[in-house]
Amino acid sequence: MVPRELVLAVLRHDDLSASQFVKDAKRAGFSWADAPAPDFAGPRARAVYAGLVELFAARQGRKPPEWTAAVGAAPAPVYLASGARSSRAMRRVLEEDSPAPLKRRNVFAFGQCLDVI
């Protein structure tokens, strides 16, 4: 499992690649509770990754890895929907609908974010 690929796809708004990555992890029986700690240099990517790991671990009915507690919020809001850049209304929807593990880290996505688990 290479989490960097997932995070980069999500940050590029490449929903097809991100979804396929999560489906492949599911098919391989990957446990998000055992996801490796991030090796990203930037706080933005670390926040996105930690939020996704917590979200997916919860969807599997498992506790997230302990390292997620040490990952802080992104320094500026990160919107994981491409239309949010130009739409204030979409940003508001994302801010309201975003799953808690993402929202805590200043990362915002639709509630069913990568809901393939």
3-class DSSP assignment, residue 50: helix
Query: Is there a domain that residue 47 lies in?
Result: yes
Average pLDDT for consecutive 10-residue bins of the chain (117 residues)?
A: 84 89 91 92 94 94 96 95 85 92 94 66
Q: Distance between CA 6 and CA 18 in Å, rounded? A: 5
Query: Is there a domain that residue 117 lies in?
Result: no
Query: Is there a domain that residue 82 lies in?
Result: yes
Work out the mean pLDDT of the chain and round it to a whole number.
90
Query: Is there a domain that residue 113 lies in?
Result: no
pTM of the entire predicted model? 0.90
Domain of 76 in residue numbering reads as: 3-108
Query: Is there a domain that residue 75 lies in?
Result: yes
The pLDDT of residue 117 is 44
Query: Is there a domain that residue 12 lies in?
Result: yes
Cβ atoms of 71 and 105 closer than 8 Å:
yes
Which residue from 29, 40, 33, 28 is spatially nearest to 3, judged by alpha carbons? 40
Query: Is there a domain that residue 115 lies in?
Result: no
The structural domain count of the chain equals: 1
Query: Is there a domain that residue 36 lies in?
Result: yes
